[in-house]
Protein backbone atom coordinates (compact mmCIF):
# COMPACT_ATOMS: atom_id res chain seq x y z
CA UNK A 1 0.00 0.00 0.00
CA UNK A 2 1.28 3.45 -0.88
CA UNK A 3 1.29 5.96 1.95
CA UNK A 4 -0.13 9.42 1.36
CA UNK A 5 1.27 10.97 4.55
CA UNK A 6 4.67 10.80 6.23
CA UNK A 7 5.27 7.66 8.24
CA UNK A 8 8.19 6.35 10.28
CA UNK A 9 8.98 2.73 9.61
CA UNK A 10 11.91 0.58 8.57
CA UNK A 11 9.69 -1.06 5.97
CA UNK A 12 9.74 0.99 2.79
CA UNK A 13 9.44 0.33 -0.92
CA UNK A 14 11.72 2.74 -2.75
CA UNK A 15 11.45 3.45 -6.49
CA UNK A 16 11.03 -0.21 -7.53
CA UNK A 17 8.99 -3.08 -6.12
CA UNK A 18 12.22 -5.05 -5.82
CA UNK A 19 13.77 -2.38 -3.56
CA UNK A 20 12.06 -3.17 -0.28
CA UNK A 21 13.46 -3.00 3.19
CA UNK A 22 12.31 -5.29 5.99
CA UNK A 23 15.19 -5.11 8.47
CA UNK A 24 17.18 -2.35 10.13
CA UNK A 25 20.40 -3.13 8.18
CA UNK A 26 18.62 -2.97 4.81
CA UNK A 27 16.84 0.23 5.86
CA UNK A 28 20.15 1.78 6.99
CA UNK A 29 21.78 0.87 3.66
CA UNK A 30 18.83 2.41 1.82
CA UNK A 31 19.17 5.63 3.81
CA UNK A 32 22.92 5.67 3.12
CA UNK A 33 22.21 5.23 -0.60
CA UNK A 34 19.81 8.21 -0.42
CA UNK A 35 22.43 10.37 1.31
CA UNK A 36 25.11 9.42 -1.22
CA UNK A 37 22.81 9.93 -4.22
CA UNK A 38 21.81 13.37 -2.91
CA UNK A 39 25.41 14.40 -2.34
CA UNK A 40 26.29 13.09 -5.82
CA UNK A 41 23.49 15.27 -7.23
CA UNK A 42 25.20 18.32 -5.74
CA UNK A 43 28.52 17.16 -7.17
CA UNK A 44 26.97 16.88 -10.65
CA UNK A 45 25.59 20.40 -10.29
CA UNK A 46 29.06 21.63 -9.26
CA UNK A 47 30.69 19.98 -12.29
CA UNK A 48 27.95 21.29 -14.59
CA UNK A 49 28.48 24.82 -13.27
CA UNK A 50 32.23 24.56 -13.85
CA UNK A 51 31.73 23.25 -17.40
CA UNK A 52 29.20 25.98 -18.11
CA UNK A 53 31.39 28.79 -16.81
CA UNK A 54 34.57 27.42 -18.30
CA UNK A 55 37.89 27.12 -16.62
CA UNK A 56 38.97 30.28 -14.88
CA UNK A 57 42.56 31.28 -15.59
CA UNK A 58 44.84 30.96 -12.63
CA UNK A 59 47.22 33.69 -11.59
CA UNK A 60 50.23 33.92 -13.86
CA UNK A 61 48.53 31.99 -16.64
CA UNK A 62 48.15 33.90 -19.88
CA UNK A 63 44.58 34.08 -21.13
CA UNK A 64 43.93 32.67 -24.57
CA UNK A 65 42.65 35.36 -26.92
CA UNK A 66 39.03 34.90 -27.95
CA UNK A 67 39.90 34.81 -31.64
CA UNK A 68 42.22 31.84 -31.19
CA UNK A 69 39.68 29.59 -29.46
CA UNK A 70 38.58 26.65 -31.53
CA UNK A 71 34.90 26.13 -32.24
CA UNK A 72 35.25 22.42 -31.42
CA UNK A 73 36.08 23.16 -27.80
CA UNK A 74 32.83 25.10 -27.46
CA UNK A 75 30.81 22.24 -28.92
CA UNK A 76 32.43 19.72 -26.59
CA UNK A 77 31.56 21.98 -23.66
CA UNK A 78 27.95 22.24 -24.82
CA UNK A 79 27.66 18.48 -25.23
CA UNK A 80 29.26 17.87 -21.83
CA UNK A 81 26.95 20.44 -20.27
CA UNK A 82 23.93 18.81 -21.90
CA UNK A 83 24.91 15.34 -20.71
CA UNK A 84 25.54 16.62 -17.19
CA UNK A 85 22.19 18.43 -17.22
CA UNK A 86 20.43 15.24 -18.28
CA UNK A 87 22.16 13.18 -15.60
CA UNK A 88 21.49 15.70 -12.83
CA UNK A 89 17.86 16.09 -13.92
CA UNK A 90 17.32 12.32 -13.94
CA UNK A 91 18.93 11.96 -10.53
CA UNK A 92 16.93 14.91 -9.20
CA UNK A 93 13.67 13.32 -10.33
CA UNK A 94 14.67 9.99 -8.79
CA UNK A 95 15.37 11.78 -5.50
CA UNK A 96 11.98 13.46 -5.74
CA UNK A 97 10.31 10.09 -6.28
CA UNK A 98 12.23 8.66 -3.32
CA UNK A 99 10.92 11.46 -1.10
CA UNK A 100 7.44 10.73 -2.44
CA UNK A 101 7.64 7.36 -0.72
CA UNK A 102 6.64 9.51 2.29
CA UNK A 103 9.04 7.68 4.57
CA UNK A 104 10.40 10.15 7.12
CA UNK A 105 13.84 8.56 7.18
CA UNK A 106 14.17 8.72 3.40
CA UNK A 107 13.10 12.37 3.45
CA UNK A 108 15.67 13.26 6.10
CA UNK A 109 18.39 11.25 4.31
CA UNK A 110 17.79 13.13 1.05
CA UNK A 111 17.84 16.50 2.84
CA UNK A 112 21.02 15.53 4.71
CA UNK A 113 22.72 14.42 1.50
CA UNK A 114 21.74 17.61 -0.34
CA UNK A 115 22.99 19.72 2.56
CA UNK A 116 26.30 17.90 2.94
CA UNK A 117 26.83 17.86 -0.82
CA UNK A 118 26.13 21.57 -1.04
CA UNK A 119 28.55 22.35 1.77
CA UNK A 120 31.28 20.15 0.30
CA UNK A 121 30.93 20.94 -3.40
CA UNK A 122 29.02 24.17 -3.80
CA UNK A 123 29.29 25.92 -0.44
CA UNK A 124 31.65 28.64 -1.56
CA UNK A 125 29.90 31.96 -1.17
CA UNK A 126 30.32 33.01 -4.78
CA UNK A 127 28.19 35.83 -6.19
CA UNK A 128 28.28 34.21 -9.64
CA UNK A 129 26.55 31.06 -8.40
CA UNK A 130 23.79 32.90 -6.53
CA UNK A 131 21.38 32.67 -9.45
CA UNK A 132 22.19 29.02 -10.09
CA UNK A 133 21.50 27.74 -6.59
CA UNK A 134 18.05 26.20 -6.80
CA UNK A 135 16.27 24.68 -3.84
CA UNK A 136 14.50 22.26 -6.17
CA UNK A 137 16.35 18.96 -6.41
CA UNK A 138 15.08 18.36 -9.92
CA UNK A 139 15.81 21.76 -11.48
In a domain, residue 75? The reply is yes
- pLDDT value of residue 61: 45
- Contact predicate 4/102, CB 8 Å: yes
Domain span at 84 = 42-53+71-125
Residue 108 binned pLDDT confidence (cut-offs 50, 70, 90): very high
Most confident of 15-19, 29-33, 42-46, 83-87: 29-33
Global pTM value? 0.76
In a domain, residue 106? The reply is yes
Q: Apex CA 108: angle with CA 114 and CA 18, to 5°?
A: 95
Helix (H) or strand (E) holding 85: helix 71-99
pLDDT surpasses 50 at 24: yes
pLDDT surpasses 60 at 138: no
In a domain, residue 3? The reply is no
pLDDT surpasses 90 at 102: yes
Other Cβ atoms less than 10 A from the Cβ of 106: the count is 23
In a domain, residue 33? The reply is no
In a domain, residue 8? The reply is no
- Number of domains the chain is built from: 1
Burial category of 94 from C-beta neighbours within 10 Å (exposed 0-12, middle 13-18, buried 19 and up): middle
In a domain, residue 99? The reply is yes
pLDDT digits (tens, 9 = 90+) for 44-100: 999 988 888 775 544 444 555 554 555 556 778 788 888 999 999 999 999 999 999
In a domain, residue 136? The reply is no
- pLDDT value of residue 64: 52
In a domain, residue 58? The reply is no
Round the average pLDDT of the chain to a whole number and report it. 82
- pLDDT value of residue 85: 92
Amino acid sequence: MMHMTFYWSRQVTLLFTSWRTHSWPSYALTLLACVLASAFYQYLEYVRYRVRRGRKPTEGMAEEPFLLRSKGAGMVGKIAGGVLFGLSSALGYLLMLAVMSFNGGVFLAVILGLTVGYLVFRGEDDDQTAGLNSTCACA
